[in-house]
Amino acid sequence: MMRALVILLSLALGLAGCGVVYKSPSVDRMAGADGKLRVVDMTPETVLVANRSVYQPKSLPPVFFNTAGYGSGLRGAGPTPEPAFDRRPQEDFLETRLPPEVNPGPYRIGTGDVLLLATPQTGSTVEQLSGLLAATNARQGYTVQDDGAIAIPNVGRVQIAGLTLEEAEAALFQRLVENQIDPTFSLEIAEFNSKKVSIGGAVSQPTVAPISLTALYLDEALAAAGGITVEDQDYATVRIYRDGTLYQIPLTQLYARDGLRRIQLIDGDSVFVDTSYELDLAQAYFEEQIRLAQFEQSARNIAISTLNTEIGIRRDNQQDERNNYLERLDLDSVVRDYVYLTGEVESQRRYELPFGRTAALAEALYGNGGVPLRTGDASQIYVLRGSSDPREFGATTAWRLNTTNAGNILLATRFELRPNDVIFVAEQPVTKWNRVIQQITPSLVTTAANTAARASN
């Protein structure tokens, strides 16, 4: 019986050596079939050549990049009415009442401020090394809207109202990093519109003076209104309305004492130059300022409510579009680019090339479990790629990767895949013999059993 078993085994191995019992795919056999397959070893130079082939990855629909709030503007109740001024008779006595000293701290960004965001444009290596790139910055202005945010393309709405310039830079840096955008930028306030002081009464040009990074003092505010125009300074007074309290400084005292001219003003102050001891005119002016502020606040609240409704509707529509697209992906109804894995891999499958970027050989190969060490030949990993030239239909290049040297695995991270590439891993020689034995072992056992049974009879 043992002799029969040995004879059958020798015969099986001989047949296997001739390719009769077991056949497995190999790149060499494919090359011999039509003579159009060219094998090229992967080296840093050949990887560069392979990556030169033109390929534009498919992109996700624009709905995945749009933000619900970008491009929206607030619609208020229109411009506020112009303030009215009047004159009253003069009196012969004025009392000095000074406002308390204030320290508002660093400037905090508010609604209406315009921020200038400067980001570096793409430049040559020479420009980057020489520092000339700073002169070619892209500068874009963004207005802080009534919800306290600025809308930046591909980033969305960034809440910065109430922040100092340094805090706003930190918040913007975080959002750029979260959206995988180069966080190199500079930020500055181009227009100061959120903090204001109104100046009216006996001045050349009643106006509203903005408060900027530097403090605004009383003499500067009066100068911004063109100066005081009263004819008799002995009966004139400068009144300051702040937080419901009225303060006043006789004009003679204002010019006689330098410290009075350097009274620091804060957001919401109203300055009124009056030529009357009576407070009726000043009171009417301040009441008018309060009504205007209430009108603006009401319009702002209406605009914010409208904007939130529009953003909610837009966001729901965008989410529906995204969900529909994802469902189409699940149903395989979206045209995708694929790479196919075959041979000695963990599973024979197709690998979807990602949207918006190229994929490397290592992603498809090792994301699928890599090369089985017991059966796969680490020296024969191939990427089969057909020619894109119609005149060379059927011509194929096999880029061979030998990972028996672990250093070559880096090449797999740099080799870019193209649609319809085939990743093929050859089997080890011992794997082929092992599979031959597995195929013929049941026959040998059956034959040996039958021979033993006949001998016993």
Widest distance between CA atoms in the chain: 147
Give the mean model confidence (pLDDT) for residues 43-52: 93
Q: What is the mean pLDDT of residues 138-158?
A: 87
**Which position has the token pair 């057909």?**
386
Per-residue pLDDT at 381: 92
Q: Is there a contact between 85 and 285 (Cβ–Cβ < 8 Å)?
A: yes
Return the pLDDT at 271: 93
Report how far residue 24's alpha carbon sits from residue 39's, in angstroms, rounded to the nearest whole number.
Answer: 19
DSSP string, 158-188: EE-TT-BHHHHHHHHHHHHHHTT-----EEE
Kindly give the interhelix angle for 2-17 and 429-456, rounded to the nearest 10 degrees.
150
- Residue 438 predicted with pLDDT over 50: yes
Q: pLDDT digits over 391-404, tens only? A: 666 688 999 999 88
Q: Rounded mean pLDDT of 197-223? A: 91
Torsion over CA of 128, 129, 132 and 133, rounded to 10 degrees?
Answer: 10
d(Cα 104, Cα 259) in Å, to the nearest integer?
19
The rounded radius of gyration (Å) of the Cα atoms in the chain is 41
Which run of H or of E encompasses 141? Answer: strand 137-143
Domains 25-58+336-440 and 108-191 share a fold: no
Give 222-275 pLDDT, tens digit per residue: 999 999 888 777 778 899 999 888 898 888 888 888 778 889 999 989 999 987
Domain positions in the chain are 25-58+336-440, 108-191
Do 270 and 241 contact (CB within 8 A), yes or no?
A: yes
Reported as a pLDDT band with limits 50, 70 and 90, residue 27 is confident
Please say if the pLDDT value at position 115 is more than 80.
Answer: yes
Three-state DSSP state, 129: helix
pLDDT of residue 452: 61
pTM for this predicted structure: 0.45
Q: For residue 122, what pLDDT is reported?
A: 57
Say what percent of the chain tops pLDDT 70.
Answer: 73
Task: Check pLDDT > 50 for residue 135.
Answer: no
d(CA 195, CA 340): 63
What pLDDT, on the 0 to 100 scale, is given for residue 33?
Answer: 45
Question: Average pLDDT of 319-326?
Answer: 89
- Is the Cβ–Cβ distance between 25 and 424 less than 8 Å? yes
- Residues whose CB is less than 8 angstroms from the CB of residue 362 and which lie 6 or more positions away in sequence, other chains included: 409, 412, 413, 415
Q: What is the mean pLDDT of residues 132-136?
A: 42
Q: What was the pLDDT predicted at 88?
A: 45
* Residue 150: band (very low, low, confident or very high) from pLDDT cuts 50, 70, 90: very high
The candidate with the shortest Cα–Cα distance to 194, out of 217, 210, 218, is 210
At residue 379, the 3 state secondary structure works out as: strand
Beta-bridge partner residues of 203: 228
Distance CA 74, CA 1 (A): 96
- Mean pLDDT, the chain, as a whole number? 79
Q: How far apart are CA 115 and CA 190, in angstroms?
A: 5
Strand ranges for 251-337 from DSSP E? 264-265, 270-274
Tokens encoding 68: 């619900």
- Tell me which CATH homologous superfamily contains domain 108-191: wza like domain (3.30.1950.10)
Q: For domain 25-58+336-440, give the fold.
A: Outer membrane lipoprotein wza fold like (3.10.560)
